[in-house]
């Protein structure tokens, strides 16, 4: 277990233009919510939709940020930490074959829609996704809010040099943010009690867990009762991006939902199966769920109507006789 040492970030900061564009979207969302409240609408109520057995929150990035901060500021003593997760196309492929992972997601406080795949699936199901709420975009915006309110943060997961770089960068970019500790995902991985004890001693408000799905969700669920924190968020490969170990796609690619192409080019061996095989499998699954699976039901309804018509004609014949 390592204690945090504050250092100068050795990786370049998030692109300022990207941050400004994201913040502009959130400000617009906030204005819309204020208008809704003025019209008597409840803008804080979360809309959900189901995707192959998992209930997903359809919210804007601003709503997601507010939800996390509310879980910290409205936390009640002797209650369990609120758990936040993200679901993308790969996660859907995983949880359709993993009932335990699926059940954990359904028990979490919030499950955010991440990526173009989930947006397509939702559209086929008749739901319009409000925003691409992915962890990599949400993280720096959330850290700004955590910094402003002097919240305490613990980082768990990824390689030793990666998580250390994330901690150093956070202290460089958000001087008021209290990064109270970090732990890589390899040391003491077979001793979760020791890790949870270190987290509790740090008195962290929120823990970011970067072990990859579904491992991180299962770790959080299994150890939730040991954690004395207010919120836990599973963030997948976020630390690799934020540390600079893996570069993000340019904003114009992300804007057109093509970040997966960039990641495939960057890590062809690691991502080929996930994207070249996983993406088509995902689309087939959701297409079958949205359209093909409903064909028997529609046929049964049509057949029932035809039978009713036939019965009606038969009854008329008998009345005439």
Residues 6 or more apart whose CB falls under 8 angstroms from that of 107 comprise: 83, 221
Q: What is the mean pLDDT of the chain?
A: 86
pTM (two decimals): 0.81
**pLDDT for residue 56 is more than 70:** yes
Q: Give the per-residue pLDDT at 24.
A: 57
Least confident of 119-128, 235-244, 284-293: 284-293
Given a cut of 80, whether residue 35 has pLDDT beyond it is: no
Going by pLDDT thresholds of 50, 70 and 90, the confidence category of residue 17 is low
Contact of 114 with 139, CB cutoff 8 Å: no
In sequence order, what DSSP letters do the residues of 8-57 get, joined into one string? ---SPPPPHHHHHHHHHHHHHHHHHHHHHHHTT--TTSPEEEEETTEEEE
Overall average pLDDT of the 268-274 stretch: 93
State residue 292's pLDDT score.
77
Residue 271 to residue 277: CA distance in whole angstroms? 10
Residue listed under structure tokens 């008998």: 318
Structure tokens at 200: 């509790």
Say how far residue 106 (Cα) sits from the centre of its chain: 13
How many other CB atoms sit within 10 Å of the CB of residue 246?
16
Specify the pairing of strand 231-234 against strand 54-58. Answer: unpaired
pLDDT above 90 (res 300): no
Average pLDDT over residues 80-103: 97
Instruction: Identify the residue with better confidence: 229 or 258.
Output: 229
Contact of 171 with 177, CB cutoff 8 Å: yes
Max Cα separation, the chain? 97
What is the rounded CA–CA span in Å between residue 113 and residue 7?
34
| Cβ burial, residue 139 (10 Å; 0-12/13-18/19+) | buried
Q: Return d(Cα 150, Cα 81) in angstroms, integer.
A: 19
Phi, psi for residue 238 in degrees, rounded to 5: -55, -45
* The pLDDT of residue 38: 47
Rounded Cα gap, residues 96 and 224, in angstroms: 24
Q: Are 230 and 82 in contact (CB under 8 A)?
A: yes
Contact 272, 264 (CB under 8 A): yes
pLDDT of 19: 59
Q: Pick from 72-76, 78-82, 153-157, 255-259 the range whose average pLDDT is largest.
A: 153-157
State the Cα–Cα distance between residues 6 and 113, nearest whole angstrom.
Answer: 34
């Amino acid at each position: 277990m390592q204690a945090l040492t504050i250092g100068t970030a050795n990786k370049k900061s998030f692109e300022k233009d990207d941050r400004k564009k994201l913040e502009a979207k959130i400000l617009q969302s906030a204005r819309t919510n204020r208008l809704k409240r003025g019209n008597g609408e409840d803008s804080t109520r979360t809309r959900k939709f189901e995707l192959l057995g998992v209930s997903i929150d359809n919210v804007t990035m601003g709503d997601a940020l507010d939800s996390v901060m509310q879980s910290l500021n409205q936390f009640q003593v002797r209650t369990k930490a609120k758990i936040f997760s993200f679901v993308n196309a790969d996660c859907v492929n995983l949880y359709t074959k993993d009932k335990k992972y699926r059940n954990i997601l359904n028990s979490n406080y919030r499950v955010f829609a991440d990526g173009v795949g989930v947006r397509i699936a939702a559209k086929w199901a008749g739901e319009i996704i409000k925003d691409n709420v992915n962890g990599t975009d949400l993280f720096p915006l959330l850290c700004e809010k955590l910094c402003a309110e002097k919240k305490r943060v613990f980082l768990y997961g990824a390689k030793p040099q990666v998580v250390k770089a994330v901690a150093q960068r956070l202290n460089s970019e958000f001087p008021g943010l209290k990064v109270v500790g970090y732990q890589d995902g390899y040391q003491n991985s077979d001793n979760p009690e020791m890790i949870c004890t270190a987290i509790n001693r740090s008195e962290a408000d929120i823990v970011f867990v970067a072990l990859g799905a579904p491992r991180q969700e299962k770790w959080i669920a299994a150890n939730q009762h040991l954690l004395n924190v207010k919120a836990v968020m599973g963030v997948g490969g976020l630390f690799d991006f934020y540390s600079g170990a893996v570069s993000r796609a340019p904003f114009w690619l992300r804007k057109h939902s093509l970040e997966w192409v960039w990641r495939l080019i960057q890590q062809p061996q690691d991502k080929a199966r996930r994207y070249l095989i996983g993406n088509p499998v995902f689309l087939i699954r959701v297409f079958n769920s949205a359209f093909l699976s409903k064909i028997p039901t529609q046929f049964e309804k049509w057949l029932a109507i035809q039978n009713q018509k036939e019965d009606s004609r038969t009854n008329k014949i008998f009345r005439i006789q």
